[in-house]
């Protein structure tokens, strides 16, 4: 695996352009499996993602949460699933452009896609496979807490150990908020959950799990201020009806208020879209030449958005892309068990 930090900043010199058979846009589960499958087919592959690590939403939002609908795994922790997918692709040497947003798409005189990132990377590929999940996602801000970002206020908890022995306040009422609360309870000094109403978006079983842990759930309240000299020390919450204020100790506040998702620059590429999803056919081909898509970002009649479905879709996309890159190539390369180790 190579992670590219020193990438081209200009297209004036073709020698500064990354050449690859397939460029995968999105390093979530589908994209990582696509990197493996492209390598299995003997194709070179680069993977571009706006996030600084592989794994997409899993790494950003629920790395410690068990996932139960992956074939062959009764349960697998999100972090472990991502690590296994990276390891699966590793023998084929995918090149990762992490922290790069796919900004512009054009085609060279030979019809090959050329993608430029917002960081100046330029990739010329035989085909592009878009596996961008929900697209780019931006956390909904905690209005009173932006000044403490990096000083106690976080949106995600990729490494729970960083919050060991902290007083933690989780703000939100969805599954992520309750998941963070239950995850941190065994290692934090204290955990409280604050939500603006007494109704939760989280599943009832998730809420009951948090209650059973003895975590204090404070409802009908909002965070009105954060306090601390340098680093966060306390948060102030205010009851929405009585306006009564309360100070809570807090070394960490997790703002789990959901996120805003959009396709970002992809929506300006000329892709056929339906409800902010990319329309594909049975080959996972889009309306643009040599551009395919797979996973949650796609739409077609009967679409089911599951990680397991995305695995099959990206294999279909890569196989069909291979026949576009080389018209003499077979659509089906054979089973992996037929290959020599």
Binding residues for FAD: 49, 57, 62, 102, 137, 296, 337
Alpha-carbon gap, residue 202 to 180, rounded angstroms? 12
Length of the chain: 341
Nearest to 30 by CA among 323, 316, 226, 331: 316
Tokens 């998702």, located at residue: 261
The three-class DSSP label of residue 143 is: coil
Measure the CA–CA gap between 162 and 169, rounded to whole angstroms. Answer: 14
Contact 129, 320 (CB under 8 A): no
Give the annotated binding-site residues: 49, 57, 62, 102, 137, 296, 337
What kind and span of H or E run contains 85? helix 78-89
Q: How far is CA 60 from the centre of its chain?
A: 6
**Distance between CA atoms of residues 49 and 130, nearest Å:** 10
Q: What DSSP letter does each residue of 202-234 carry, written as one string? A: S-HHHHHHHHHTT-EEE-SEEEEEEE-SSS--E
Check if the beta carbon of residue 22 is closer than 8 Å to that of residue 64.
Answer: no
| Residue 296 vs residues 125, 127, 184, 229, 300: alpha-carbon distances, Å | 23, 19, 29, 43, 11
Q: Which two tokens stand for residue 92?
A: 């084929």
Q: How many CB atoms lie within 10 A of CB 172?
A: 24
Assess contact for 72 and 122: CB atoms under 8 A: no
């Amino acid at each position: 695996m190579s992670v590219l930090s020193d990438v081209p900043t200009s297209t004036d010199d073709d020698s500064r352009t990354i050449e690859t058979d397939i460029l995968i846009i999105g390093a979530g589960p589908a994209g990582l499996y696509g990197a493996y499958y492209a390598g299995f087919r003997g194709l070179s592959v680069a993977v571009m993602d706006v996030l600084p690590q592989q794994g997409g939403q899993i790494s950003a939002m629920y790395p410690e949460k068990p996932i139960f609908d992956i074939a062959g795994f009764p349960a697998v922790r999100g972090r472990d699933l991502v690590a296994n997918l990276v390891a699966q692709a590793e023998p084929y040497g995918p090149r990762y452009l992490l922290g790069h947003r796919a900004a512009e798409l054009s085609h060279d005189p030979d019809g090959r896609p050329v993608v430029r990132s917002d960081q100046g990377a330029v990739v010329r590929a035989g085909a592009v496979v878009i596996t961008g999940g929900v697209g780019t996602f931006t956390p909904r801000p905690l209005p009173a807490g932006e000044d403490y970002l990096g000083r106690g206020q976080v949106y995600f908890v990729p490494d729970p150990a960083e919050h060991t022995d902290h007083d933690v306040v989780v703000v939100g009422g969805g599954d992520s908020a309750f998941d963070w609360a239950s995850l941190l309870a065994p290692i934090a000094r204290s955990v409280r959950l604050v939500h603006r109403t007494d109704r939760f978006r989280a599943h009832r079983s998730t809420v009951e799990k948090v209650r059973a842990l003895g975590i204090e759930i404070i409802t009908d309240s909002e965070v009105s201020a954060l306090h601390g000299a340098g680093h966060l020390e306390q948060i102030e919450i205010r009851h929405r009806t009585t306006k009564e204020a309360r100070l809570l100790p807090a070394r960490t506040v997790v703002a789990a208020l959901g996120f805003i998702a959009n396709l970002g620059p992809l929506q300006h590429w000329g892709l056929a879209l339906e409800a902010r999803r990319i329309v594909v056919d049975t080959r996972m081909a889009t309306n643009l030449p040599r551009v395919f898509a797979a996973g949650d970002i796609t739409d077609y009649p009967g679409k089911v958005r599951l990680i397991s479905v995305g695995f099959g879709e990206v294999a279909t996309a890569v196989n069909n892309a291979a026949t576009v890159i080389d018209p003499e190539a077979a659509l089906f390369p054979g089973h992996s068990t037929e290959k020599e180790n």
